[in-house]
Structure 1
């Protein structure tokens, strides 16, 4: 929403009392100094109301003659209500739980091969992979996306699920369910293919590549077009980026936590930053019109 200059007054005029009144009424505003004047800016749709208020109370309301009801503290929505407003986020997590159950979190190879990037069969003690081109020719296009639903262990699923719930709800609330699903599939495709290109024929899976995409999207979008939904605590962003660097160093694999899909993480973050750049620029331009 655009703002307009509702008052232009000499610098000698004391606006502090009126500004305190606006703060008490929770009216969006800002004061700037231009060409030797102090200028009061407010949203265009309330400019006439603010101008009329100044005519009545130029010194503010020190005696608090204006009765302003105290807003009640909003109650935090319950889990069921959050689910109702985060259907797409919940669907992705439910699918992850279902796939985790049928694959026994990576222990059941007979069912897991339906969700891997490359199909495979077990020959003795070895795994024989099917070329991706053969699977795609057979119509198995879902393999480009379904590795995001695979998880190897309860902790892997729990951590990824927790972060997808936190980040996915933000994007769904701000940009809608369809956009969240579209971004999730895009990040999954890019991170899965990047990991395959980097590591070759191996087993990999998890939502972490998608999570770094969501993180990058919120991060850059918020920088370009600030909004409450994407305002992540600085500590969260720093922690996730530090964790990315630590994983790339090989330390996590060295201490016995298994191989980390670093290519999926990095490519997910990069494509997420790119979509955040496009979305942020578009939203900023839309608000400026």
Structure 2
């Protein structure tokens, strides 16, 4: 047995204990010098216990900022409840809970406002993978090879913040918030940000190589990366909670296939960055394999 968690005074251990028993995690809650502590029976259950503890802590922090007196469930709280007023305090709480995902949403909204959803080519050129040049009402772009001379390596990532329609923007922000925030809470903000950069850069580079045009963008590649990670990780490490169901995975795969047809353009969605979607899905799945194997090895050594 080893110490896994020490409860705060306002935390009810019964809620976490019920969640642990539902996942068949053997444990004991003992009192030590007036403090309640959680001890695991089997060290192999450390990973799933850690995930449930994070969800439990998240629920307690949500409870402390609301008027809901019911005991929190050991699950992801609904931080987007329409009954919550978005005050400065509640926004600050969201930032503390999901700093990378929250910052991504804010940056994306600001970029879309600045670029007017891609209509302002002057500002759009600040974020495209290669600079845009407007001469005599013609639009030109520099080759990707010139990036080494200007050292503007940030352009490899910034296209993820570009969006070209309200539907495009809302769809991506919805899924990056729904899936991305859960992944950030499970693997931590630092690792999530590393994964975000890897998936975003890979998607942008391959999309540019495929089309040879800088006029693309969006969080879709990262969204598909999150979907791929969440789907594959449970096969690599069965102790992981399932974040998406089979129906949702089928939807994203079907939508990926539709992107290669003329249907999106006929619906007014324009040409889709299909390569970015596919590369995002593959890179997210590969990251899940790497992370899953490393986390299993770390659990065995603990």
TM normalised by structure 2 equals 0.70
Q: Is the 8 A contact 1:171 1:229 kept in 2?
A: no
In structure 2, how many angstroms separate the alpha carbons of the residues matched to 1:125 and 1:25?
Answer: 62
Residue aligning to 2:166: 154
Give the Å deviation of 1:155.
Answer: 1.5
Match of 2:289 among 274, 277, 280: 277
Residue aligning to 1:12: none
Give the Å deviation of 1:28.
Answer: 5.7
Residue aligning to 1:64: none
List gaps (5 residues or longer) in structure 1: 3-22, 31-40, 48-71
In structure 1, how many angstroms separate the alpha carbons of the residues matched to 2:241 and 2:263?
Answer: 34
Q: Is the 8 A contact 2:228 2:282 kept in 1?
A: yes
Q: How does 1:99-118 map to 2 (within 5 A)?
A: 99-118=111-130
Change (3 A) 1:26 1:101: closer
List gaps (5 residues or longer) in structure 2: 3-16, 28-38, 43-69, 81-89
Q: Is the 8 A contact 1:188 1:209 kept in 2?
A: yes
Change (3 A) 1:207 1:46: same
In structure 1, how many angstroms separate the alpha carbons of the residues matched to 2:221 and 2:20?
Answer: 41
Match of 1:268 among 280, 284, 292: 280
Number of equivalenced pairs: 235
In structure 2, how many angstroms separate the alpha carbons of the residues matched to 1:184 and 1:203?
Answer: 21
Residue aligning to 2:223: 211
Residue aligning to 2:157: 145
Q: How does 1:1-289 map to 2 (within 5 A)?
A: 27=21, 42=26, 45-46=40-41, 73-74=71-72, 76=77, 78=79, 80=90, 81-227=93-239, 229-289=241-301
In structure 1, how many angstroms separate the alpha carbons of the residues matched to 2:189 and 2:20?
Answer: 31
Q: Is the 8 A contact 2:20 2:26 kept in 1?
A: no
SS in 2 for 1:127: strand
Q: Is the 8 A contact 1:170 1:229 kept in 2?
A: no
Change (3 A) 1:233 1:83: farther
Residue aligning to 2:6: none
Give the Å deviation of 1:158.
Answer: 1.1
In structure 1, how many angstroms separate the alpha carbons of the residues matched to 2:18 and 2:155?
Answer: 56
In structure 1, how many angstroms separate the alpha carbons of the residues matched to 2:100 and 2:214?
Answer: 30
